[in-house]
A = this chain, B = another copy of it.
Amino acid sequence: MATEPPVYAVIFSSQLAQSAVDYQDAAEEMVRLAETMPGFLGCESARGMDGFGITVCYWDSEEAIRHWKQQADHQVAQRRGHEEWYKKYFLSIAKVKRAYGVNEKGERISKWRKK
């Protein structure tokens, strides 16, 4: 079953450098900023004690992802990530074919909904 309308996932995994400072605040600010962007559907993040983290954000088009990539404050954060925060990182852009899950009430859910 195809997911309609289209949903794209941006999967970002990263290993924080030991020396990473200001990272957490900046990351939270970026999520708040992403939430204001057109086409944003949702974002989830997890980071373990070892500094390895994965963030997955969902968007309604590739154009929305490009637009976000080029957003000025986000560009500054990308540069700091590359130069200061991340020891390594990997980003995949993928088109969601199907999705399902169970929410906290035990109800089946079948797609991303705009918050």
Contact = CB atoms under 8 A, between A and B. Distances in A.
Chain A, interface size category, equals 35 or more
B101 A93 contact: no
Given A48-B48, A54-B56, A100 B91 contact: yes
B101 A90 contact: yes
B109 A9 contact: no
A4 interface: no
A102 interface: yes
B9 A11 contact: yes
A99 B88 contact: no
Contacts of A80: none
Interface in A90-104: 90-104
